[in-house]
Amino acid sequence: MNDSPGWATPGSSPSDGEGSHGTQPPAPAAQPSGSDPKWSAEQPPPGQWSSPAAGQTPPPAPGQPPAAPQQGWGSYGGQQPQSGGYPAPPGGRGGWNQAQAVKPGVIPLRPLGLGEILDGAVATMRKHWRSVLPITLAVAVVVQLASVLMQKFAFNDVVLDQSSSASVEDQINALGTTVSLSLAEMFIQLVGTIAATAMLTMIFSRAVLGHASSIGGAWRESRSQLPRLFALTVLLGVGTILLVGVLLLPAILTGSVGLGVLGGFVALGLVLWLWIKLSLASPALMLEKATLTKACARSWKLVKGSWWRIFGITFLTNLITGFVAGIIVLPLTFLGAALFGGGLEGFADGTGTTSWGFLILTGIGGIIGLTITMPMQSGVTVLLYVDQRIRREALDLELARAAGIENYGTGTTAPPTGG
């Protein structure tokens, strides 16, 4: 049995709409008015949400003999498949019964709304803060410490001399040093963010089932996928740069401003579209233990038909986290400039931005902002992934079984809540 708290690789993707054992699923029942058309009435094979504890078998259905240990969750919470190979969705063939939605963890096991996704991310931060906050706090401290030291001891000594007396070689060397230091700082931030994202993904996946995770457990469960997550992040970044460069190249070669504006708008649209299409690749890679190619393909299929919805939720999340970070960082930045940076004049000309007082205050603001906003963004991404799989692949059946909920999907399940 898989020890991972997440999903095993789904094999032939349930998003493809193919049934198991080469059989075609029965025709979906008519959906009631107001139900989500993307909710799968066919109930395709699950993506094998893994057991939260190795060797633990789910409780048998009433009147049934105990099940033998098996690899993964092969059936649907004790419910026997119908003649076509798929059980009915929770609440009956007509669709989802909202009143019967169980909530073993931070979200109910049904298609989620915007408020439920945001609330699930905040609830995880609140209920499992002993695991979440130390991770993000440690990463934020390392990132901000590197930034402060770079600004104080490195960037302060690098000056691009604009006078005619400075040789071209000196200016190139200064520019090269600045670029090298910037890349070093970005690398530190990248590594810290990737490590935090990987561990937070595991914590949120367990929180969906109502189970807590330790920091050490989250690290052990995520470290095997860290090289792939790093490669995925770098690949997306390099791909974005190459795409923008190709679209702006004609304007650079011809010196046309109009062509540059057109190329910029096209590049912005394509980058945004691809960013959303691949936004679920990170949780797919971590929770399904997938390769880079399979993770990107999974994200592409899960986002299909829901691009605008995922874009809206992602944009709103970034807007909220940006606002929260702003109200924390900006006051401390202006306070540091007023007390230690020579006021607005020193802040404007850059002479006051290298004093210890200014750097420490802005660093504290950055630490607080990252500690709060990083888990919020990671949590929304993971819950969007779970929501899309519930809508398309009936993942709620696997989640209910992994959470130990009996008779889920039979219409007789009590709606317990947990945390």
Whole-number pLDDT of residue 151 = 79
Whole-number pLDDT of residue 168 = 67
Whole-number pLDDT of residue 166 = 57
Top pLDDT among 316 and 60 is at 316
pLDDT level of residue 79 (50, 70, 90 thresholds): very low
Question: Which of 11-25, 146-160, 187-201, 348-362 has the highest mean predicted lDDT (pLDDT)?
Answer: 187-201
Between 118-132, 246-260, 359-373, 396-410, the lowest mean confidence (pLDDT) is in 396-410
Give the tens place of pLDDT for each residue, 214-227: 999 999 999 999 99
Is the distance from CB of 221 to CB of 202 less than 8 angstroms? Answer: yes
Q: What angle do CA 407, 386, 413 make, to 5 degrees?
A: 15
Whole-number pLDDT of residue 404 = 85
pLDDT level of residue 155 (50, 70, 90 thresholds): low
pLDDT at residue 38 tops 50: no
Whole-number pLDDT of residue 196 = 94
pLDDT cut 90: percent of the chain above it? 47
pLDDT at residue 370 tops 80: yes
Average pLDDT over residues 151-155: 71
Whole-number pLDDT of residue 42 = 43
pLDDT at residue 86 tops 50: no
Average pLDDT over residues 154-172: 59
Whole-number pLDDT of residue 345 = 66
pLDDT level of residue 243 (50, 70, 90 thresholds): very high
Mean pLDDT of the chain: 76
Give the tens place of pLDDT for each residue, 284-295: 999 999 999 999
Phi and psi angles of residue 270, each rounded to the nearest 5 degrees, phi first = -65, -40
Whole-number pLDDT of residue 171 = 67
Identify any residues that bridge with 76 across adjacent strands, giving them in sequence order.
79
pLDDT at residue 17 tops 50: no
pLDDT level of residue 126 (50, 70, 90 thresholds): very high
pLDDT at residue 414 tops 90: no
Average pLDDT over residues 255-263: 90
pLDDT at residue 14 tops 90: no
Whole-number pLDDT of residue 299 = 97
Average pLDDT over residues 58-74: 43
Question: Which of 4-8, 187-191, 294-298, 336-340 has the highest mean predicted lDDT (pLDDT)?
Answer: 294-298
Average pLDDT over residues 305-317: 96
pLDDT at residue 28 tops 80: no
Give the tens place of pLDDT for each residue, 383-395: 999 999 999 998 9
Average pLDDT over residues 31-36: 43
pLDDT at residue 270 tops 90: yes
Average pLDDT over residues 80-94: 39
Between 92-101, 249-258, 264-273, 304-313, the lowest mean confidence (pLDDT) is in 92-101
Whole-number pLDDT of residue 389 = 96
